[in-house]
Amino acid sequence: MEKDTSRIEAFSDGIFAVAITLLALDIGVDIKDLQALHPLATTTNGELWHEITMEWPKILTYVNSFTAVLLMWMSHHQIFKILRTTSMKLMILNGLLLMSVALVPFPTKTLGEFIGTDAQKMAIIFYTGYALVVSSAYVLFILTATGGKNNLLLPDEPPQKIQRITRELKIGLSLNISIFILSFFIPVMALILNFSMWIFWALVSRNKD
């Protein structure tokens, strides 16, 4: 029995929206630091500005993760555009993919909290490792959607388009593997490369229909 993909797409869009929303919840001035010094009402402009600027690691990781989740959603949308229907196996894999996306705020918060600390290396390893997990989920999803004889694709989709999408996701996976390995040896460089990944995804996405 053929089933339309609109319901699974709507559900997926909701998960992406929640993930993006959760990314912003941890950003804000911690008034406990100020209250430990004096009553909050006596806070000066300079003290408040100092507390705001101290949030830069969280803001930086938020911007990167927000962009990453946005591009994940675009890639997810692109895959569903070539699907005619779905299957139980694909729905399960889609659920696992969404589960990994929904947890992106966890490594994002961890990295934002520990940049500049003695635990910075582990925070970067965790962050880049999680990017690898999400990238792996995408490759598994596209291979399941396009492989075998399940006939889930639209009949008029050109093979070149399907091959291009699969190739780009595999390249992204290879890059994330390299970045994750690098994080054990040169963590700051690995983080810079991870923050640059959105440029790669933006470039490969610009010519998609």
Give yes or no for a contact between 96 and 129, defined as CB atoms under 8 angstroms apart.
Answer: no
Lowest mean pLDDT among 7-21, 32-46, 105-119: 32-46
Confidence label for 205 from pLDDT (cuts 50, 70 and 90) = low
| Nearest-angstrom CA–CA distance, 53 and 118 | 20
| Nearest-angstrom CA–CA distance, 97 and 89 | 12
Mean pLDDT over 183-196 rounds to: 97
Confidence label for 206 from pLDDT (cuts 50, 70 and 90) = low
**179-188 long-range contacts, CB within 8 A, separation 24+:** 179/128, 179/131, 179/132, 180/125, 180/128, 180/129, 180/131, 180/132, 183/121, 183/124, 183/125, 183/128, 183/129, 184/125, 187/120, 187/121, 187/124, 187/125, 188/124
Predicted confidence (pLDDT) per residue in 164-173, tens digit? 999 999 999 9
Give me the pLDDT at residue 111, please.
97
Whole-Å CA distances, 195 to 59, 67, 108, 145: 13, 10, 12, 29
Confidence label for 32 from pLDDT (cuts 50, 70 and 90) = confident
DSSP string, 145-194: HHSTT---B-TT--HHHHHHHHHHHHHHHHHHHHHHHHHTT-HHHHHHHH
Give me the pLDDT at residue 1, please.
38
Predicted confidence (pLDDT) at residue 97 exceeds the cutoff of 90: yes
Give yes or no for a contact between 201 and 67, defined as CB atoms under 8 angstroms apart.
Answer: no
Predicted confidence (pLDDT) at residue 209 exceeds the cutoff of 60: no
User: With b meaning 16 or more CB within 10 Å and e meaning fewer, what string describes 77-105?
Assistant: ebbbebbeebbeebeebbeebbebbeebb
Name which residue leads in pLDDT, 47 or 157: 47
3-class state of residue 37 by DSSP: coil
Mean pLDDT over 175-180 rounds to: 98
Percent of the chain with pLDDT over 70: 94
Predicted confidence (pLDDT) per residue in 98-157, tens digit? 999 999 999 999 999 999 999 999 999 999 999 999 999 999 999 999 886 667 888 888
Confidence label for 35 from pLDDT (cuts 50, 70 and 90) = confident
Lowest mean pLDDT among 37-41, 49-53, 107-111, 183-187: 37-41
Give me the pLDDT at residue 133, please.
97
Lowest mean pLDDT among 38-52, 112-126, 179-193: 38-52
